Amino acid sequence: MSKSLTTNPSSDVSAFLKKSKAIRRVVERQSRLMFALDATASREPTWERARALHNELFTAAVTGSSLALQLAYYRGFNEFVASPWLTAASELQAHMSAVACQGGPTQIGRVLRHYLATSTPATPVRALVFIGDAMEESAKELCQLAAQCGVRKQPVFLFQEGHDNNVAGVFEQMAKNSGGAYAQFDANSAERLRSLLEAVVRFTSGGHKALTSSGTEAGKLLLSQLPRRD
């Protein structure tokens, strides 16, 4: 058997292992942000505008950064979908464009359990953004799940569409329990939502320092609620 035949397989394996290790290191260094949406029927009137805004935000978030995003949503009566971790704006837009609203109950607890299960010491998820307008589950259970996120230093940023006071109270407590933040927006405040999401992206990538240096009103709002950890 020739020398080339006896040495090439070993060389190929070695090169493959080195490449795999390099890829793993890159993945482990990426800042991960989970982006979860209520896609039930109550959000349908504002869905197209929100989807366009989210696409713009996704593009800005991943361009020129090491940020990886996962899109999750629930709709219907038992549908919950979570995308792979994505770093290309085109992939994120394709996933978002495929989502349409369907009637059904809220599944916020399912979102939180997914968030807790997905984040690991090797590949931590820096934050969860949740956008929704309703809450039809046990407030006690949701607040307990949010507290588990807080113990594990996994903040939840809850952005409420509309002004339902009962929802607001639960979302605020969830944000507090998790070490995250809460804010409201409506159909006439798309720019407010954009600035809030941009602030979360800054936090995910650079922590409190990035929010402080931004000097934006959205950054100040989040900083006023976030516990100091870095």
Indicate the residue type of 37: L
User: How many residues does this entry show for the chain?
Assistant: 230
Cβ atoms < 10 Å from Cβ of 126: 20
Measured between alpha carbons, how far is residue 132 from residues 14, 22, 160, 163 in Å? 48, 38, 5, 11
pTM for the full model?
A: 0.84
The per-residue pLDDT for 23 is 40
Q: For residues 8 and 62, what is the distance between their CA atoms, to the nearest angstrom?
A: 38
CA distance readout (Å), 196 to 59, 83, 90, 167, 190: 16, 23, 22, 19, 10
Tell me the two tokens of residue 220. Answer: 């100040």
Nearest to 178 by CA among 207, 149, 144, 145: 149
> Given strand 31-38, what is the order of strands in its sheet?
79-82, 67-75, 31-38, 127-132, 156-161, 181-185
- The string of DSSP codes covering 160-220 is EES--HHHHHHHHHHHHHHT-EEEEE-TT-HHHHHHHHHHHHHHHHHHHHHHHHH--HHHH
pLDDT score recorded for residue 8: 60
All structural domains of the chain, each given as residue ranges with its CATH number in brackets, are: 30-225 (3.40.50.410)
Give the alpha-carbon dihedral of 82, 187, 207, 176, to 10 degrees: -90
Orientation angle between helical segments 44-62 and 190-214, nearest 10 degrees: 30
pLDDT at 25: 44
Burial label for 71, CB within 10 Å (0-12, 13-18, 19+), is: buried
Q: What is the pLDDT along the chain (230 residues), one digit of tens a residue?
A: 444 444 565 665 555 444 444 444 444 457 899 999 999 999 988 888 777 777 777 766 666 567 899 999 999 999 999 999 998 878 888 888 889 999 999 999 999 999 999 999 989 999 999 999 999 999 999 999 999 999 999 999 999 999 999 999 999 999 999 999 999 988 777 778 888 888 888 888 888 898 898 889 988 999 999 997 65
d(CA 147, CA 162): 24
